[in-house]
Amino acid sequence: MIALIDYNMGNLLSVHKALESVGGDIRIVDKAADLKQFDSVVLPGVGHFGDGMEHLRSRGFEPAVVEAARSGKPLLGICLGMQMMLDSSEEAPGVKGLGIFKGKVHRFPEGDEKVPHMGWNTVKLQQKSKFFDGVADNSYFYFVHSFYVSPEAANCVLGSCNYIREFAAVIGRGNICATQFHPEKSQNNGLRILQNFIAASR
């Protein structure tokens, strides 16, 4: 079974529906202690980094998510869920992230291009990953974000995207995968990633 974390900051319905459509056995979980019962964990999210971390902490999810990452369970972070896996964000100075990946979250610089980055864009695969089996290089995915992650370790970047600058669109290692784009809104390519996540959970 897959735990979909409810911390009042995620688009749970669309993520739940997408996972279910590709064969996932999903449960929405709002109690941190319950995560231990599940084979894998999804951390979704939309909104502000500081608010997201506050909601996670107030519901006791911070140590539970970090433990899930260390345990070997498949863990998927989506959008804000990805950003919170890093140490900190310019969106919320002084607020600590989960620290699953070392690095920071930066805001796109102002310029000729609009911020937020919104719509379809291609992802260039940087290395082989089980989460991208069957997904072609330079496939399109759907993005909505004003901030991007900058991990310290280049070898955790699974895929990159170019908007204003090149940034990490997917990071991961071992059992963990995190996407800046929304797989649940990315049609067949996004559903394939969710399907691969489910396969890794079995």
Residue 202 has pLDDT above 90, yes or no: no
Question: Looking at this protein, which amino acid is placed at residue 51?
Answer: D
How many domains, the chain? 1
Interval 152-156 mean pLDDT:
96
Q: pLDDT tens, 65-96?
A: 999 999 999 999 999 999 999 999 999 999 99
Domain containing residue 171: CATH number: 3.40.50.880
Residue 160 dihedral angles phi and psi, to the nearest 5°: -125, 160
Confidence tier at 111 by pLDDT (50, 70, 90): confident
pLDDT tens readout for residues 42-55 = 999 999 999 999 99
Active-site amino acid positions? 79, 182, 184
In sign, the C-alpha dihedral spanning 128, 130, 133, 135 is negative
User: And the tokens for 81?
Assistant: 């869920």
- Helix spans in the chain (H): 12-21, 49-58, 61-71, 80-83, 187-200
Which residue range is the domain that position 166 belongs to? Answer: 2-200
Rounded Cα distance, 184 and 30, in Å:
21
Q: Choose among 191, 182, 133: nearest CA to 158.
A: 133
Cα–Cα distance for residue pair 51/48, rounded to 1 Å: 5
Reading the block at residue 136, the tokens are 């072609």
